[in-house]
């Protein structure tokens, strides 16, 4: 299952002048949070643990991780069973709350959500929201 693909965002409303990678910041933030929260899929844990370490030491930003590890695509293999169950509920663009939370937390002052910087500062602002949503989801 594919949750998101950066290429889905490049057409239509995508602002001119922004690099393509700006279409992946929102997904990169979620994937980075999931990997740092112990929700990484078996393939990543077994074959690419260095990427989790690069997140831990912050030598890659969430967006860089998303392109370097995931090739700009967020798929079910990126997460374990718990991570996928949460992503199907929360990250889902039609019924989930992720984009609303992302906008409420990081969108103020940005021309569009694509203008949100791929930075650890923004990740640190979003992380408590994701932690809370995950805790709420587990309590259901």
pLDDT in tens, 17-67: 888 888 899 999 999 999 999 999 999 999 999 999 999 999 999 999 999
**Global confidence as pTM:** 0.95
How far is it, in rounded angstroms, from Cα 78 to Cα 101? 22
Q: Report the C-alpha gap between 13 and 114 in whole angstroms.
A: 10
More confident residue, 16 or 104: 104
Cβ 40 vs Cβ 34: under 8 Å: yes
DSSP-H helix ranges across 23-119: 25-36, 42-47, 49-56, 62-70, 81-90, 98-106
């Amino acid at each position: 299952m594919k949750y998101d693909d950066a290429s889905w965002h490049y057409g239509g409303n995508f602002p001119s002048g922004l690099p393509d990678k700006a279409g992946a910041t929102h997904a990169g933030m979620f994937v980075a949070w999931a990997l740092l929260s112990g929700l990484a899929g078996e393939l990543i844990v077994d074959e690419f643990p260095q990427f989790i370490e690069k997140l831990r030491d912050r030598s890659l930003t969430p967006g860089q991780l998303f392109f370097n590890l995931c090739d700009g695509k967020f798929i079910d293999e990126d997460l374990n069973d718990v991570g996928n169950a949460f992503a199907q509920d929360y990250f889902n663009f039609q019924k989930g709350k992720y984009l609303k939370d992302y906008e409420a937390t990081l969108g103020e002052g940005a021309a569009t959500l694509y203008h949100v910087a791929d930075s650890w500062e923004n990740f640190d602002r979003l992380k408590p929201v994701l932690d809370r949503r995950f805790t709420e989801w587990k309590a259901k």
